[in-house]
Structures are given as C-alpha cells and as structure tokens.
A and B are shown apart, each in its own frame.
Chain A
Amino acid sequence: MSASVNKSEEQVILEVRDLDVFYGQKQAIHSVSMQIKKGTVAALIGPSGCGKSTFLRSLNRMNDFVGTAKVTGDVLYKGQNLYGKKVDPVELRSQIGMVFQKPNPFPKSIYKNITWGPKVNGFDGDTDLLVEKSLKRASLWDEVKDRLHDSAFDLSGGQQQRLCIARAIAMNPDVILMDEPCSALDPRSTQGIEDLISELKRRYTIIIVTHNMQQAGRISDETYFFHEGHLVEFGETKQIFTNPSKKKTEDYITGRFG
C-alpha cells in the first residue's frame, strides 16, 4: 500500500496546491491545484485572459518580475516548495526551461545563444558537444550546422523558436514550460514545433499553454481548461475533448465562446 503511494508520488514532478495569484487588488488565479506526472505533455487551454499564462509563469517564478504580483499557495517541484523561503529563484529557473510566445533569441550568434545559459550557470564542459546535442534534439542541427556563428536573427521565425527550445534544452531541464510557442509562427513552422514537442516528451515534462485547441488535441496527454482564473476541468486530453463533464468546457471546446 505505502509502496504504491510512494511510487505515484515519485512520478509527480510538479504539484500545485491552492495557488492564488493577485495583480494588485485583482485576483488572476483562484485556488488552482494540479499534479503533473513526469514525462507528460500537459496543455493549458482557455479563452484569452483566463489566467493560463499567469499560471504558467508562476511555475518558474517569472511573475517575480511583475512588481504588483503576489502569489500564495505551494508549487512543489520534485517535492520542494518553489515559494519556500530558502529557494533562490535564479537557481530554480536554471532547472525549469521556458519557451516564450514570440521567439526571443539573444542578439548573439546561434552558438552563443545555446552556450550562454549553461555558462552563466557554471558549465565548463565541451561547448561544441553541447551545442551539437542541443541543436540536434531541437531538430535544428542540419539547418544551421554550417553557420553556427551567424547571428540568430538570420534564422526564420520557426528556426528561431526551435533555437529557443534548444537553448532551454541545453540547460538540461526536467520540465519545459511553453507559453503559446507557436502563436507567432506560420502553419509550417507550427507543424515543426509540434513534431518537436512529440519527440521531446520522452525526455522532458512539457507544460504548454495554447489557445489552439486542435494543437492541444494533437500533442498533449492531459488537458487543463482554465476560465476566469479558475481551473474548471482537467483530465486526459481525449476525454476532455470527446466527453467533457462540465458545461463550460463543452461550450469552449465546441467553439461557443472564447
């Protein structure tokens, strides 16, 4: 009995308990709890302004940069509370990768975009190897291997986003947070990123915010539906999309609002 409980706890890499987020007086997230298992792709869906991005950004404490934001509740990463007093948010962010809405490569070469993160965090191994490995995992190696020292801005939007994923991978994270990573990309690049996510999920736990329900349906194992700061419903993606238990979820999925 206790052994099986331990085992299921081991598989949970990220656990959120009663998370509230406030921006000044306004409450953006209302008491959200969830457990994310290792190796899953979890999609956070919901209409604009429902709090899904705010929620995602509280998972690696990026909300710290918003002066008025206040977070209460617990986020346990591998059992450790991210909002505990002894946690250094800088250290923490080096363990949880993040990919943003718009590709945001640094104004540096492709090579240095990859090596910068590990270097500021004390990496002193073979950077050539690191760059090759990270770019291969992000399916970008073949396209850029002959021009690693060109500016990252010479890449197309889709390539830039894959570079940002490679940059996150280079840090060797367990969890990668993605905040609508395809929203600024054309359909073909979107396809590329989706294929990449499917490949990455064997190695990494991915939590992805998307406004695109088809995308959530294609790539995720679990879906979490947010509405007005509340987590309305969650479950296996197939079940959420075919047989939602809440009226609101059904309305959103069938396109009646959002």
Chain B
Amino acid sequence: MKSFKNLVIEKSIYLILLFSVMITLVTTALVIVLLGKESIEFFKQVPVFSFLFGTHWQPLIAPHSFGVLPLVCGTLWIVLGSVAIAVPVGLLVAVYLSEYASDQLRSYLKPMLELLAGIPTVVYGYFALSFITPVLKWFNPDIEIFNAASGAIVVGIMILPMIASLCDDAFRAVPGSIREGGYALGANTFEVIKDILIPATKSRIGAASVLAISRAIGETMAVTLAAGATARLTADPFVSVQTMTSYIVQVTMGDTPAGGVEYLSSFAVGTLLFLMTLIMNIIGNQWVFKSRIRLV
C-alpha cells in the first residue's frame, strides 16, 4: 500500500518537474517562431542586406529607410560604456567585500548591494535624467538632455551589483588555504589578489561580464529615458541615440498599425537583438570553458 502511494508521489513530482521544464522550452520555441515568422514577412519587403548594412533608420515617416546600423550603434554605445564602467568597478567592489571588509561590515554591505539590484529600472531612468545628465551638463553645458553617455553610466550602475556579487562569490569560492599559502610566503593582500585570486577566478569573472553584457544589450526602460529616441549613427556619446530595445518600445507603444512594414520592422530588430545576445552567450561560454582553472 505504502509503495503504491510512494509511486504516485514519485510520478507526480516527476510530471510537475517535467512540466516546469516544458514551460521554458515551449516559451523559447514560441518566441523564436513568432520572431522568425514576422521577420520573414519584413524581409519580403526589405532586403536583408539593406537592413543589416544600411546607415539610415527612418521607419515611421516616408520616405521609409530601414538601415539598422544606427540602432546597433546606439546599443553598442550603451553596452560598451556600461561594461567599461561596471566590470572594473564591480571587480573592485568584490575585492573589497571579500578580502578587505570585516565580516560585520560585509553583512551590511552585501544586502545593500542586492537592494541596488532590486530598484525598478524606470527609477534608474529618472535618476539618469535628473542627476547624471545634470552632472554631465555641469562639465559641458552643450550636451543634449538625452544622451548615450548618461544611458551608459546608468546601465553601468544597474549591472554593477550583479558583477560585484558574482565576483565576490567567485573569490569566496577560492579555498582559504590557497590565500594562506600566499601570505605565508610574505605576499601582501594586493599581491595575493592580483596574482592568485584574480587568475584563479578569471573564468567566473568572464562569465559575470558576459551576463552583464547580455543584460546591458537587453536593457530598455532606463535607456529609453536616459538616451532618448533619435536613431543616429554617431561617434559622439553626448547626443541622443536610440537603442534597438527602445525602438521596439516605440513601435509597440505607438500608434503603428499592426501588419504594416513599420510594425514588422520591430520584429526584425528583435530577431537581430536575439541573435546578438545568443552569439554573445556562446562566445562567453566557450571562453569561460577554455579558461577554467581547477582549484583542487
């Protein structure tokens, strides 16, 4: 009797788990199908080449032009800028938390860091508009209200807690005995961090950076508020740009009729975004795998 009951429980747990896995798989499949279907419709009207390599993006007003490079440019500004800020600073924060801060201080700092990660992104957008941009303007009054630099800085602040937290976990996973070995040879804390901890954790630092880049590519709300909605291929970070995500928001929130080429263009942009993130993650995984260092 008991064994039958156990069997039922076992079986239902198995089914629940399987169902949960199926949700993620089916969702992913649906997203890909939807993106693909609408994108194909789009590319029936706009050649792939002129989409990918066109330098002029004017989808909503005639004459229409669907060169995606200005949007890619906007996204790149945000990604490169934010990662350039968040990876080094996040690493320093992690070093401080794991190697210098006392346990007591750490017990206050780590939850604060996680609090920072929990702030809604739209609030970060306000923060960029009402604080970061004015500060930038203080240095140079000529910059635009909406600008890529402000967006990059605010996204950098947003992804900082994630990088710091992941790197902190990585450092703390290094056995204390390896640190002691370093100290016993007359090394100071900085030398132990630079020559032992960071090399030993570089694959995990890389993984954290890849996650951060993916998050920065996909970030929407704060970027739309901070960097604006002017699709532009520009080398100047102090003017308004539009990222791929902000464009998708613009189209879906606006009064663009469904089914038209303007509407379909957002799916093409979405597909490109998806592919970029995918390639990023594949490269990241490869690199993390190659540089993995055994710790035992």
A-B contact count (CB 8 A): 75
Chain-A contact segment, one of B61-69, B195-203, B219-227, B266-274: B195-203
How many Å lie between the Cα of A94 and that of B184 in the bound state?
7
Q: Is A97 in contact with chain B by the CB < 8 A criterion? A: yes
Residues of B178-217 at the interface with A, using a CB-CB cut-off of 8 Å, are: 178, 180-188, 191, 195-196, 199-200
Q: Are A93 and B184 in contact (CB under 8 A)?
A: yes
Stretch of B82-90, B138-146, B288-296 that contacts chain A:
B288-296
Cβ–Cβ contact B183 & A106, under 8 A: no
Asked if B54 is an interface residue, CB under 8 A from chain A, the answer is no
B186 touches which one: A65, A90, A106, A107 (CB < 8 A)?
A: A90
B residues contacting the other copy or chain, number (CB 8 A): 23
| Residues of the A chain whose Cβ atoms lie less than 8 Å from the Cβ of B295 | 107
Q: Does B120 contact A (CB under 8 A)?
A: no
Among A29-37, A116-124, A139-147, A185-193, the one that faces the other chain is A116-124
By the criterion CB–CB under 8 Å, are B294 and A97 in contact?
no
Instruction: Using A67-B102, A151-B294 as known contacts, say yes or no to A116 and B180 having CB atoms under 8 A apart.
Output: no
B98 to chain A, nearest CB (A): 14
**Known contacts A102-B177, A106-B196; A93/B102 CB under 8 A:** no
Q: Would you give the shortest CB distance from A110 to chain B, in whole angstroms? A: 14
Q: Are A167 and B293 in contact (CB under 8 A)?
A: no
The answer, among A67, A101, A116, A151, for a CB contact under 8 Å with B185, is A116
Q: Does A104 contact B (CB under 8 A)?
A: yes
Number of A residues with CB within 8 Å of any CB on chain B: 30
Contacts of A167 in B (CB 8 A): 181, 185
Within 8 A of B (CB), among A43-94: 60, 62, 65, 67, 90-94
B175 at the binding interface (Cβ < 8 Å):
yes
Q: Are B188 and A100 in contact (CB under 8 A)?
A: no
- 0/1 interface trace, chain A 95-114, chain B, CB 8 Å (1 if under): 10110111011111000000
Residues of chain A lying within 8 A (CB to CB) of residue B200: 106-107
> What is the bound-complex CA distance between A67 and B105, given in angstroms?
13
Asked if B236 CB lies within 8 Å of chain A CBs, one says: no
| Contact across chains for B184 and A90 when beta carbons are under 8 A apart | no
Residues of B within 8 A of A60 (CB): 184
Closest to A153 in B: B294
Residue-wise interface mask of B (253-296) relative to A, using a CB-CB cutoff of 8 A (1 in contact, 0 not): 00000000000000000000000000000000000000001111
A90 (CB) vs chain B CBs: closest residue: B188
Q: Convert B62-98 into 0s and 1s, putting 1 for each residue whose CB lies closer than 8 angstroms to a CB of A.
A: 0000000000000000000000000000000000000
B196 to A117, Cβ gap below 8 A?
no
Task: Find residues 145-177 in chain A having any chain B CB closer than 8 Å to their own CB.
Answer: 151, 153, 164, 167-168, 171
Instruction: Please name all residues of chain A whose beta carbon is closer than 8 Å to the beta carbon of B188 when the two chains form the complex.
Output: 90, 120
Given A67-B103, A102-B177, verify A117-B199 contact (CB < 8 Å): no
- For B183, B184, B195, B296, which residue has the most chain A Cβ atoms within 10 angstroms? B184
Q: Which of A62, A90, A97, A153 contacts B296 (CB 8 A)?
A: A153
- Min CB distance B154 to A, Å, is 36
Return chain B residues, CB-CB under 8 Å to A67.
102-103
Instruction: A106 to B184: give the CA distance in the assembly, Å.
Output: 12
| Chain B proximity of A153: nearest CB distance (Å) | 5
* Among B183, B196, B295, residue most surrounded by chain A Cβ atoms (within 10 Å): B183
Q: Are B187 and A117 in contact (CB under 8 A)?
A: yes
CA distance A147 to B57 in the complex (A): 58
Alpha-carbon distance A49/B184, docked complex (angstroms): 22
Q: Are B103 and A98 in contact (CB under 8 A)?
A: no
Q: Do B178 and A120 touch (CB < 8 A)?
A: no
Known A93-B184, A95-B186, A153-B296; judge A108-B199 contact (CB<8 A).
Answer: yes
Expressed in whole angstroms, the Cα–Cα distance for A105 and B177 within the complex equals 9
A97 to B183, CA, bound (A): 10
A120 touches B195 (CB 8 A): yes
Contacts of B178 in A (CB 8 A): 104, 106-107
Complex Cα gap A35–B294 (Å) = 42
User: Complex formed: what's the CA distance from A164 to B180 in Å?
Assistant: 12
- Give Cα A18 to B132, complex, Å: 60
| 10 interchain residue pairs of minimum CB distance | A94-B186, A117-B185, A98-B184, A104-B177, A104-B181, A93-B186, A107-B200, A120-B191, A107-B293, A120-B187
Given contacts A107-B295, A167-B185, 20 further A-B contacts (CB under 8 A): A60-B184, A65-B183, A90-B188, A93-B183, A93-B186, A94-B186, A97-B184, A102-B177, A104-B178, A107-B178, A107-B199, A107-B200, A116-B187, A117-B187, A120-B186, A121-B187, A153-B296, A167-B181, A168-B184, A171-B185
